[in-house]
């Protein structure tokens, strides 16, 4: 287990100066102008050290109950040439997974994490999306279209909570970044290929104890491929995806955070329109209140006001992100420090509920860089 935990720390290696432009420690670095091919690029990319598939969403039952969910599958590679040859148990790749469910109406939050070596109990296929970690799985369903695919997600949380969901993309894939590369720091290696389906229709069921609850809603799906996600002098990040209710557009922001709390210049806010081409705009991030975890002791932003420019009208707009539940902290004891990740309402300056968001806050319990 100690060896596994050491490999998990590779999730957030810092980009070092002087590394070659195309490779770091034997692993590939994202390159500008890369051509993606699907369904191949829905699957795993073992030439890269770090990869994750990440889904968040907002679900509603027929009686109006509101839920938020998160499922993330990580693939983490060990040092080149390391690990055993045994196909059933290998240290060459380690698979970490997180799942969480928020019941906003009941004020409950469940989460679980899993860590397994490559082999019979965990894998990420190449050539198409087919992920598993223990009994959790996510895959592209049978004959679904390549351009607007349907994904099946199954995961259990604790003893009596389970998700069984079908997610269908409603607009084409988005490639965030500039010329296909999403920069996260100054070093050449601090970058990723960042692929997103910004709006998926969700249908399925939740199991809560002995009750089965049919649900419908919307989700956001990211797939990032990298070999070194943080740059020098960064301690974590703030990330949010916003889906507007009466506007077909979405927006995504990542704010790479420095020790003094300010944003690294590589931070980006990007709007997504109907053509799935991201447009970068300046932004302001104002924390309006905080929440302190009784478990980790970390103090996180709670309500946040996000201001930016509408690329269509040119007008300045602002959104307030309000968590549906204050405590949506994941302890993350297997793969590093605790972090906050949760469902939020999106309100306009008049206080009207105009959309949904998922907010991720890392590096508050402990700095992620080293």
What CATH number corresponds to the domain at position 310?
2.40.370.10
Domains of the chain: total: 1
The pLDDT value recorded for residue 233 is: 86
324: left (phi over 0), alpha (psi -120 to 50) or beta: alpha
Q: State both tokens at 261.
A: 């709390």
Q: Does any domain span residue 179?
A: yes
Whether residue 140 has pLDDT greater than 90: yes
Q: Is the pLDDT of residue 83 over 70?
A: no
Average pLDDT, the chain: 90
Q: How far apart are CA 11 and CA 299, in angstroms?
A: 23
The stretch 282-299 carries a mean pLDDT of 97
Residues 6+ apart with CB under 8 A from 311: 271, 273, 279, 281
Residue 145 in domain: yes
**CA dist list (Å): 45 to 26, 123, 183, 200:** 14, 12, 19, 24
For residues 287 and 27, give the distance between their C-alpha atoms in angstroms, rounded to a whole number.
38
Let me know if residue 264 belongs to a domain: yes
Token look-up 């500039």 returns 178
Look at residue 31 and tell me if it is in a domain.
no
Pairing, β 211-228 against β 50-61: antiparallel
User: What's the pLDDT score for residue 3?
Assistant: 38
Please report which confidence band the pLDDT of residue 370 belongs to, taking 50, 70 and 90 as the band edges.
very low
pLDDT of residue 231: 81
Range of the domain at 283: 2-15+39-361
Structural domain contains residue 20: no
Contact 270, 255 (CB under 8 A): no
Averaged pLDDT for residues 328-353: 91
The token duo for 183 is: 């920069």
Q: What is the predicted pLDDT for the residue at 24?
A: 67
Kindly state whether residue 32 falls inside one of the protein's structural domains.
no
Give the percent of the chain with pLDDT over 70. 89
User: Does 162 reside within a domain?
Assistant: yes
Q: Is the pLDDT of residue 139 over 90?
A: yes
Query: How confident is the model at residue 227, as a pLDDT?
Result: 86
What pLDDT, in 10s, does the model give residues 193-209?
A: 999 999 999 999 999 99
Residue 184 contacts residue 231 (beta carbons within 8 Å): yes
The whole-number average pLDDT for the span 218-237 is: 90
- If you average pLDDT over residues 43-58, what whole number do you get? 96
Q: Identify the pLDDT of residue 86.
A: 54
What pLDDT, on a 0 to 100 scale, did the predictor assign at position 280? Answer: 97
Is 247 a member of any domain? yes
């Amino acid at each position: 287990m100690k060896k596994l935990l050491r490999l998990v720390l590779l999730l957030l290696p810092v980009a070092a100066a002087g590394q070659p432009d195309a490779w770091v420690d034997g692993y590939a670095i994202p390159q500008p102008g890369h051509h993606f091919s699907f369904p191949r690029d829905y699957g795993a990319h073992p030439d890269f050290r770090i990869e994750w598939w990440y889904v968040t969403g907002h679900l509603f039952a027929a009686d109006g109950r509101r839920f938020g969910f998160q499922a993330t599958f990580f693939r983490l590679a060990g040092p080149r040439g390391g690990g055993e040859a045994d196909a059933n148990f290998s240290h060459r790749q380690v698979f970490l997974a997180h799942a969480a469910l928020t019941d906003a109406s009941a004020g409950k939050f469940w989460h679980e994490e899993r860590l397994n070596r490559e082999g019979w109990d965990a894998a990420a296929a190449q050539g198409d999306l087919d992920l598993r970690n223990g009994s959790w799985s996510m895959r592209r369903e049978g004959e679904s279209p390549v351009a607007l695919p349907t994904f099946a997600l199954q995961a259990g949380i604790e003893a009596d909570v389970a998700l069984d969901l079908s997610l269908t993309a409603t607009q084409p894939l988005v490639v965030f970044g500039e010329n296909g590369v999403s920069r996260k720091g100054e070093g050449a290696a601090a970058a990723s290929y960042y692929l997103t389906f910004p709006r998926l229709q969700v249908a399925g069921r939740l199991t809560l104890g002995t009750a089965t609850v049919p649900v419908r809603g919307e989700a956001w799906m990211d797939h990032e491929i990298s070999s070194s996600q943080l740059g020098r002098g960064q301690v974590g990040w703030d990330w949010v995806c916003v889906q507007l209710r009466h506007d077909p557009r979405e927006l995504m922001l990542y704010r790479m955070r420095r020790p003094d709390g300010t944003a690294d210049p590589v931070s980006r806010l990007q709007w997504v329109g109907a053509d799935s081409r991201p447009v970068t705009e300046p932004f302001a991030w104002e924390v309006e209140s905080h929440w302190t975890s009784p478990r980790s002791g970390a103090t996180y932003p709670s309500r946040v006001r996000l201001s930016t420019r509408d690329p269509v009208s040119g007008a300045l707009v602002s959104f307030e992100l309000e968590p549906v539940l204050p405590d949506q902290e994941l302890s993350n004891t297997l793969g590093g420090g605790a972090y906050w990740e949760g469902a939020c309402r999106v309100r306009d300056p008049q206080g009207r509920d105009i959309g949904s968001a998922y907010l991720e806050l890392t590096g508050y319990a402990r700095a992620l860089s080293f």
